[in-house]
Amino acid sequence: MEKYWNKNMECATRDEMRALQSFRLSQTVRRVYENVPYYRERMEKAGVTPDDIHSVDDLKKLPFTMKQDLRDTYPYGLFAVPMDQVVRLHASSGTTGKQIVVGYTQNDLDVWAECCARALTAAGADNKDFMHVSYGYGLFTGGLGLHGGAEKVGMTVIPVSTGNTNRQINIIKDFGSTFICCTPSYALYLAETMEEMGITKDDIKLKAGLFGAEPWTEEMRQEIESKLGLKAFDIYGLTEIIGPGVAFECSEQTGMHINEDNFIAETIDPDTGEVLPEGEQGEIVFTCITKEAFPLLRYRTRDIGILKREKCSCGRTLIKMMKPAGRSDDMLIIRGVNVFPSQVESVLLQLGNTAPYYQLIVDRVDNTDTLEIQVEISPEMFSDTVKSLEDQEKIIKNAIDSTLGISAKIRLVEPKTIQRTEGKAVRVIDKRK
Ligand code: DLL
What are the tens digits of pLDDT across the range 140-186?
999 999 999 999 999 999 999 999 999 999 999 999 999 999 999 99
| Contact 266 CB / ligand 1 (< 6 Å) | no
**Is the distance from the beta carbon of residue 324 to the nearest atom of ligand 1 less than 6 Å?**
yes
Element (H, E) at 357: strand 354-365
pLDDT at res. 326: 76
- For residue 149 and ligand 1, the question of a CB distance below 6 A is answered with no
Report the alpha-carbon distance of residue 307 to residue 136 in Å, rounded.
29
CB atoms within 10 A of CB 17: 19
Ligand 1 atom, smallest distance to 237 CA: 5
Task: Give residue 95's pLDDT band: very low, low, confident or very high (50, 70, 90).
Answer: low
Instruction: Report the range of poorest mean pLDDT among 118-122, 192-196, 204-208, 342-346.
Output: 342-346
Q: Is the CB of 182 under 6 A from ligand 1?
A: no
The CB of 341 under 6 Å from ligand 1? The reply is no
CA of 340 to the centre of ligand 1 (A): 16
Q: What percent of the chain has pLDDT over 90?
A: 84
Expressed in angstroms and rounded, the spacing between residue 41 Cα and the centre of ligand 1 is 30
Q: How far, in Å, from the CA of 305 to the mean position of ligand 1?
A: 13
Q: How confident is the model at residue 340 (pLDDT cuts 50, 70, 90)?
A: confident
Closest CA to 49 of 68, 70, 64, 34: 34
Q: How many CA atoms lie within 13 A of 241 on its CB side?
A: 28
Distance 397 CA to ligand 1 centre (A): 30
Which one is the CATH code of 332-430: 3.10.310.30, 3.30.360.10, 3.20.20.70, 3.30.300.30?
3.30.300.30
Q: Given 3.30.565.10, 3.40.50.12780, 3.40.50.1000, 3.30.70.260, which CATH number is that of 1-327?
A: 3.40.50.12780
Nearest CA to ligand 1 atom 15: 213
Please work out whether the CB of residue 243 comes within 6 Å of at least one atom of ligand 1: yes
H/E run at residue 237: strand 231-238
Residue nearest to ligand 1 atom 28, measured at CA: 215
Ranges in the chain annotated CATH 3.40.50.12780: 1-327
Distance from the alpha carbon of residue 198 to the mean position of ligand 1, in angstroms: 32
92 CB near ligand 1 (under 6 Å): yes
Whether pLDDT at 330 is above 90? no
Which string of b and e fits 202-232 if b means at least 16 CB within 10 Å? eebbbbbbbbbbbbbbebbbebbbebbbbbb
Q: Is the pTM of this model over 0.85?
A: yes
Q: Ligand 1 center to residue 45 CA distance, Å?
A: 32
State the distance from the centre of ligand 1 to the C-alpha of 212, rounded, in angstroms.
6
CATH 3.30.300.30 segments of the chain: 332-430
97 vs 98, residue with greater confidence: 98
Q: Is the CB of 235 under 6 A from ligand 1?
A: yes
Residue 336 or residue 224, greater confidence: 224
Distance 303 CA to ligand 1 centre (A): 9
Distance 270 CA to ligand 1 centre (A): 19
pLDDT at 346 over 80: yes
Q: Is the CB of 135 under 6 A from ligand 1?
A: yes
Helix ranges (H only) for 229-378 are 341-351
Using the atom order of ligand 1, give the atom closest to the CA of residue 235.
26
pLDDT tens for 250-291 read 999 999 999 999 999 999 999 999 999 999 999 999 999 999
Ligand 1 centre distance from Cα of residue 217 (Å)? 14
Verify whether ligand 1 is closer than 6 Å to residue 400 (CB atom).
no
84 — pLDDT class (breaks 50, 70, 90): very high
- Pocket flag, ligand 1, residue 103 (CB < 6 Å): no
Average pLDDT value for the chain:
94
At 97, is the pLDDT very low, low, confident or very high (cuts 50, 70, 90)? low
Residues 77 and 382: their CA atoms lie apart, in Å, by 55
Q: Which of 121, 325, 374, 116 is nearest to 214 (CA)?
A: 325
